[in-house]
C-alpha cells in the first residue's frame, strides 16, 4: 500500500495508542491545574470568611456575593468541562474518521488507476530502407606526407511510403487477477511502395511489432499475397526487390495483447495517403493524444474511430485509443468536513445555550447525537451521495432535537431553529460546491435568530420553559 493511502499525516487517530497516551498526559496536567485553581479560589474565600468572622455584617455582604459567584463559577465550570470533553472526544473521533475516509478515497483512486495501468501497445510506422554508396573524402598521413583519400561508403537511406491503409480491432478483457484491463489486438495494415530511385532495386521492409506487448502471435508480412521470410531471428527487416518506377503492396498482420492503450506513431515520418480505422469493441473507448478523428461511429458493440489524410501527415503525438474511466470526483470534501466538525458543534451548542435552558444531561445527549450523525454520514457516504446522506440524517437530527423542548412547543421550535442554523446548514454547506454562500447564510440566520430572540424580544419563551 502506498504512503498516500495511509491517511492524512499529522492527524491524531484513536487507533494509535501512543498518540492517545501523549494527549491524555497533557490533558491530565491541564485538568489538575484547573482543579487546583478552583480549589485555591475556594480556600481563599474560606480564609477571608474566617478573617471577617467578627464583623458579621461585612462578612454577609462580601462573602455572600463571593459565595454566589463561586457557586455560579462551579456550575459554569461543570458545563465548560462537559463541552470541552465533548469537543476533545469529538475531535479525536472526527480526525480518525477523516483519516479512514481519506484512506478509502485514495484506495478507490488507486483501484481506478490500476484498472487502466500498464504499458501501452505502441505500433510504429514501418520504414523502407535501402543501402547506397556515397563518396567519402578524408585525409591521412603516409611517409610523413598528408594525402587526401577518396572512397565510397555504404549508408542507409529510407524511402517514403506512398500509402498506408490500417485497420485495427481492439477487444478488452480483464487480466488473470481481474484487477486491470488488457487489450487484444487484431492488426491489419496495407502499405504501398513506389520505387522512385533510378539505380536502386534492393530494399528492406522494416516493420517492427508493437512495443509493450505481452503476447504476439500470427505475425507475418506479405508482398502481393506472398509471405516474406525473416533473414535473422528477431530481425524484422524483410528484404525484397523492386524495379525503378514499379509499385508494390506490403501487408502486415498479427494478433497481440498488452496494456489498456493502443497508439500508432509516425516516428517522425511524413506519411502519405494515410487512413487508420480503429474499432474498439467495448464501451468507454475514446481517442487518445488529442488528435480528433475525422469520423466517429458508435453502435451497441463499441466505437469506430477513423483518421484520414489524403495528402500527407506527420504527428508528434501518436494516434490511438484508450479506455475512458470516470474520474473520482469530490475527493477530500468529507475529510475537510470532519476536521471542521468540532467547530460546527461548538457553534451549534453555543446557539443552544444562548437560546434555551440547557442542563448537563441535554448537553451530553446533544453532543452524542451530533457526532453519531457524523459517524453515520461517514459510512453512508461510501455507498450513496454524501449530500443525500446528510439530508436523510438531518431529519433524524431535527426529530431528536425536538425533544429538547420537554413537551414545550416554544422551546422545541427554538431548538429546531438553532439546529438548522448551527448544525444542518453548516454541515451541508461544506458538502456542496458553494460552501462560502451556504455558510454565510447559516451565519446570517444564526445572528438574526439571536437578535430577534434577545434584542427585539419577538420570540419569548414561557416562564416554565426557562427553568
Lowest mean pLDDT segment, chosen from 14-18, 89-93, 278-282, 307-311:
14-18
Lowest mean pLDDT segment, chosen from 119-133, 168-182, 320-334, 337-351:
320-334
Place of cell 478523428: 293
Quick: pLDDT tens for 2-32: 444 444 555 555 445 455 556 556 666 666 6
Lowest mean pLDDT segment, chosen from 141-145, 374-378, 461-465:
461-465
Q: Which pLDDT does position 185 carry in this prediction?
A: 92
pLDDT band at 464 (very low <50, low <70, confident <90, very high): very low
Based on the number of CB atoms within 10 Å of its own CB, is 350 exposed (0-12), middle (13-18) or buried (19 or more)? middle
**Phi-psi label, residue 314: left if phi above 0, alpha if psi -120 to 50, beta otherwise:** beta
What residues are paired with 280 via a beta bridge? Answer: 170, 303
DSSP labels, 342-363: HHHHHHHHHHHHHHS---HHHH
Q: Which residues contact 186 (CB under 8 A, 6 or more apart)?
A: 168, 169, 170, 171, 255
Phi, then psi, of 158 in degrees rounded to 5: -130, 145
Q: Which pLDDT does position 283 carry in this prediction?
A: 84
Most confident range, picked from 108-112, 229-233, 326-330: 229-233
Q: Which pLDDT does position 389 carry in this prediction?
A: 92
Phi, then psi, of 5 in degrees rounded to 5: -95, 10
pLDDT tops 80 at residue 50 = no
Return mean pLDDT, the chain: 79
pLDDT tops 90 at residue 148 = no
pLDDT band at 1 (very low <50, low <70, confident <90, very high): very low
Q: Which pLDDT does position 28 carry in this prediction?
A: 61
Q: Which pLDDT does position 120 carry in this prediction?
A: 78
Q: Kindly state the percentage of the chain with pLDDT values over 90.
A: 21
Strand order across the beta sheet in which 285-287 lies: 121-124, 261-265, 319-323, 285-287
Q: How far apart are CA 192 and CA 91, in angstroms?
A: 72
Average pLDDT over every residue of 140-159: 79
**Phi-psi label, residue 22: left if phi above 0, alpha if psi -120 to 50, beta otherwise:** alpha
Question: Which of 344, 341, 347, 358 is closest to 78 using CA atoms?
Answer: 358
pLDDT band at 173 (very low <50, low <70, confident <90, very high): confident
Q: Which pLDDT does position 56 carry in this prediction?
A: 54
For residue 167, the surrounding DSSP H or E stretch is: strand 163-174
Average pLDDT over every residue of 332-346: 86
Q: Which pLDDT does position 117 carry in this prediction?
A: 57
- Residues shown for the chain: 467
Q: Which pLDDT does position 44 carry in this prediction?
A: 60
Average pLDDT over every residue of 128-139: 81
Lowest mean pLDDT segment, chosen from 299-303, 328-332, 463-467:
463-467
Cell, residue 232: 535473422
Quick: pLDDT tens for 54-83: 555 554 555 555 555 555 556 667 777 788
Quick: pLDDT tens for 75-127: 667 777 788 888 888 888 888 888 888 888 777 777 666 655 557 788 999 99
Cα within 13 Å of Cα(382), Cβ side: 15
Amino acid at each position: 500500500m502506498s504512503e498516500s493511502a495511509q491517511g492524512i499525516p499529522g492527524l491524531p487517530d484513536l487507533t494509535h495508542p501512543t498518540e492517545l497516551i501523549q494527549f491524555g498526559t497533557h490533558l491530565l496536567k491541564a485538568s489538575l491545574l484547573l482543579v487546583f485553581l478552583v480549589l485555591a479560589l475556594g480556600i481563599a474565600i474560606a480564609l477571608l470568611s474566617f478573617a471577617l468572622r467578627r464583623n458579621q455584617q461585612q462578612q454577609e455582604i462580601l462573602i455572600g456575593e463571593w459565595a454566589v459567584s463561586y457557586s455560579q463559577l462551579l456550575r459554569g465550570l461543570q458545563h465548560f468541562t462537559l463541552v470541552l470533553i465533548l469537543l476533545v472526544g469529538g475531535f479525536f473521533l472526527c480526525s480518525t474518521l477523516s483519516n479512514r475516509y481519506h484512506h478509502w478515497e485514495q484506495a478507490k483512486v488507486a483501484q481506478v488507476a490500476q484498472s487502466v495501468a500498464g504499458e501501452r501497445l505502441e505500433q510504429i510506422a514501418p520504414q523502407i530502407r535501402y543501402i547506397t554508396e556515397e563518396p567519402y573524402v578524408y585525409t591521412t598521413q603516409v611517409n610523413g606526407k598528408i594525402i587526401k583519400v577518396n572512397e565510397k561508403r555504404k549508408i542507409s537511406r529510407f524511402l517514403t511510403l506512398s500509402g498506408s491503409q490500417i485497420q485495427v480491432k481492439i477487444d478488452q478483457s480483464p487480466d488473470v487477477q481481474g484487477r486491470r484491463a488488457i487489450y487484444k489486438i487484431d492488426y491489419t495494415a496495407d502499405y504501398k511502395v513506389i520505387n522512385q530511385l533510378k539505380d536502386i532495386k534492393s530494399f528492406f521492409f522494416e516493420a517492427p511489432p508493437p512495443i509493450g506487448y505481452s503476447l504476439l502471435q500470427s505475425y507475418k508480412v506479405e508482398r502481393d499475397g506472398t509471405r516474406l521470410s525473416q533473414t535473422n531471428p528477431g530481425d524484422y527487416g524483410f528484404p525484397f526487390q523492386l524495379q525503378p518506377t514499379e509499385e508494390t503492396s506490403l501487408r502486415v498482420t498479427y494478433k497481440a495483447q498488452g496494456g489498456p492503450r493502443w497508439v500508432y506513431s509516425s516516428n517522425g515520418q511524413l506519411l502519405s495517403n494515410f487512413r487508420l480505422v480503429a474499432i474498439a469493441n467495448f464501451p468507454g473507448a475514446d481517442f487518445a493524444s488529442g488528435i480528433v478523428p475525422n469520423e466517429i461511429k458508435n453502435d451497441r458493440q463499441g466505437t469506430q474511430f477513423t483518421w484520414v489524410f489524403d495528402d500527407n501527415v506527420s504527428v508528434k503525438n501518436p494516434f490511438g485509443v484508450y479506455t475512458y474511466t470516470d474520474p473520482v470526483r469530490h475527493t477530500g470534501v468529507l475529510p475537510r468536513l470532519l476536521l471542521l466538525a468540532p467547530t460546527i458543534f461548538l457553534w451549534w451548542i453555543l446557539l443552544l445555550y444562548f437560546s434555551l435552558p440547557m442542563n448537563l444531561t441535554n448537553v451530553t445527549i446533544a453532543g452524542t447525537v451530533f457526532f453519531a450523525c457524523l459517524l453515520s454520514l461517514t459510512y453512508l457516504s461510501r455507498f450513496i451521495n454524501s449530500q443525500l446522506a446528510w439530508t436523510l440524517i438531518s431529519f433524524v437530527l431535527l426529530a431528536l432535537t425536538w425533544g429538547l423542548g420537554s413537551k414545550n412547543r416554544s422551546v422545541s421550535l427554538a431548538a429546531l431553529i438553532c439546529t438548522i442554523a448551527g448544525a444542518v446548514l453548516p454541515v451541508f454547506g461544506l458538502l456542496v460546491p458553494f460552501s462560502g454562500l451556504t455558510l454565510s447564510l447559516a451565519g446570517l440566520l444564526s445572528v438574526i435568530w439571536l437578535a430577534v430572540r434577545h434584542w427585539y424580544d419577538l420570540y419569548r419563551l414561557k416562564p416554565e420553559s426557562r427553568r
